[in-house]
């Protein structure tokens, strides 16, 4: 998850003009997946008067959940009958997906992609360090957070790192230069401002921050978070709002197509796209950047996907295809 902390602002889902491009992109790519996507959009799109407070409450629940001990009680009603499947550990493979585009063609030679695996598996041991506040333009915010976990205790930080490795393999096979903001090789963090700075200093052509959400059971699906316009303090997103939206639409389209997973049914109006101005990792970026919340770790059905190595490979493939599409223009 990406939005813990006392200064959390609920996301601002809106019926954006992005809905049409995503629909078109998805329709062009995969009519089969679109059917499921459309059903979700129709029945799960929270286009109702009470939606905002409901969504905010749901997300606040998720924020609270991140500080729970993994496997904490309280969500048993939606828990699967048995323990969550043990995370599988297949190695990332550039050829695992039948939909891989011309792997190894080198078409991304000269392109730089920064992958930001959200959180850090060791953050929980460094509470004082990660609670230090950093300036994200709109406000001051925790350096980093621990992230969420499945009910069985598998941490988001391990999920994000695994998917990052798979995505790196896929993008490097396309010839891209890939840099990770952390590779499980730091005691904690990095802080969100440094995560942004790493992408900036690498002059990344695209950057993506990988997460999984910690919302209430029953809330399912993925969403891509786009930077809103912020021009305040050290933050100035004006130049990246448009290209980031383009990147995000393509990542969302690729993700739907390859995973067959529907956009979130609890925010984003069923578009799979949410624009936010409270995330330091986006506010402080000067390169096109998006976040992706791949699913909800606190929902049993989503957790079954997130803990599956084969599903994570598809997730990485979907992201890769979106990024490749964006970089090829």
Residues that bind Zn ion (CB under 5 A): 1-2, 118, 147, 211
When the beta carbons of 2 and 215 are compared against Zn ion, the nearer one is: 2
Minimum distance, C-beta of residue 217 to Zn ion, in the bound complex (Å) = 18
Contact by Cβ (8 Å): 144, 120? yes
Is 142 part of the annotated catalytic residue set?
no
When the beta carbons of 213 and 246 are compared against Zn ion, the nearer one is: 213
- Residue 231 class from Cβ within 10 Å (0-12 exposed, 13-18 middle, 19+ buried)? exposed
Minimum distance, C-beta of residue 211 to Zn ion, in the bound complex (Å) = 3
Of the candidates 216, 220, 215, 212, the one whose C-alpha atom is nearest the C-alpha of residue 40 is 220
Instruction: Locate all alpha helices (DSSP H) within 45-75, ordered by sequence.
Output: 51-65
When the beta carbons of 34 and 163 are compared against Zn ion, the nearer one is: 163
The structure tokens listed for 248 are: 């995000």
When the beta carbons of 34 and 274 are compared against Zn ion, the nearer one is: 274
Contact by Cβ (8 Å): 127, 193? no
Contact by Cβ (8 Å): 40, 292? no
- Cβ-closest residue to Zn ion? 211
32 Cβ contact partners less than 8 Å away, ≥ 6 residues apart: 260
User: In this structure, how many other beta carbons lie within 10 angstroms of the beta carbon of residue 50?
Assistant: 8
- Residue 177 class from Cβ within 10 Å (0-12 exposed, 13-18 middle, 19+ buried)? middle
Of the candidates 102, 120, 205, the one whose C-alpha atom is nearest the C-alpha of residue 159 is 120
When the beta carbons of 21 and 155 are compared against Zn ion, the nearer one is: 155
Phi, then psi, of 253 in degrees rounded to 5:
-65, -45
When the beta carbons of 94 and 294 are compared against Zn ion, the nearer one is: 294
Is the backbone of residue 327 left (phi > 0), alpha (psi -120 to 50) or beta?
A: alpha
Instruction: Please identify which of the residues 246, 249, 293, 321 carries the catalytic annotation.
Output: 293
Minimum distance, C-beta of residue 2 to Zn ion, in the bound complex (Å) = 4
Minimum distance, C-beta of residue 29 to Zn ion, in the bound complex (Å) = 27
Q: Quote the CA–CA distance of 215 and 220 in Å, as a whole number.
A: 9
What amino acid positions are annotated as catalytic residues? 293
């Amino acid at each position: 998850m990406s939005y813990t902390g006392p200064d959390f602002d609920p996301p601002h889902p809106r019926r954006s003009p992005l809905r049409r491009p995503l629909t078109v992109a998805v329709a062009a790519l995969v009519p089969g997946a679109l059917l499921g996507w459309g059903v979700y959009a129709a029945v799960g799109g929270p286009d109702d008067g009470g939606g905002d407070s409901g969504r905010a409450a749901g997300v606040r629940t998720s924020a609270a959940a991140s500080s729970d001990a993994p496997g904490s009680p309280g969500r048993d009603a939606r828990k699967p009958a048995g323990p969550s499947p043990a995370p599988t550990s297949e190695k990332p493979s550039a050829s695992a997906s039948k939909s891989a585009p011309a792997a190894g063609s080198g078409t991304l030679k000269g392109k730089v992609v920064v992958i930001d695996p959200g959180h850090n598996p060791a953050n929980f041991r460094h509470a004082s360090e990660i609670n230090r506040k950093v300036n994200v333009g709109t406000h001051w915010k925790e350096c980093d957070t621990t992230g969420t976990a499945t009910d069985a205790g598998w941490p988001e930080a391990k999920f994000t790192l695994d998917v990052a490795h798979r995505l790196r393999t896929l993008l490097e096979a396309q010839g891209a230069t890939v840099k990770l903001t952390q590779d499980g090789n730091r005691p904690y963090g990095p802080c969100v401002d440094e995560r942004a700075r790493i992408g900036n200093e690498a002059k990344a052509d695209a950057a993506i921050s990988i997460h999984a959400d910690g919302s209430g059971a029953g809330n399912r699906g993925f969403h891509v978070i786009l930077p809103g316009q912020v021009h305040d303090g050290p933050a100035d997103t004006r130049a990246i709002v448009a290209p980031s939206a383009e990147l995000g639409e393509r990542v969302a389209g690729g993700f739907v197509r390859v995973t067959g997973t529907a956009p979130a049914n609890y925010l984003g109006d069923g578009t799979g796209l949410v624009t936010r101005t409270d995330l330091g990792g986006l506010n402080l970026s000067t390169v096109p950047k998006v976040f992706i919340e791949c699913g909800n770790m606190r929902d049993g059905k989503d957790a079954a996907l997130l803990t599956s190595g084969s599903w994570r490979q598809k997730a990485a493939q979907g992201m890769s295809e979106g990024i490749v599409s964006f970089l090829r223009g």
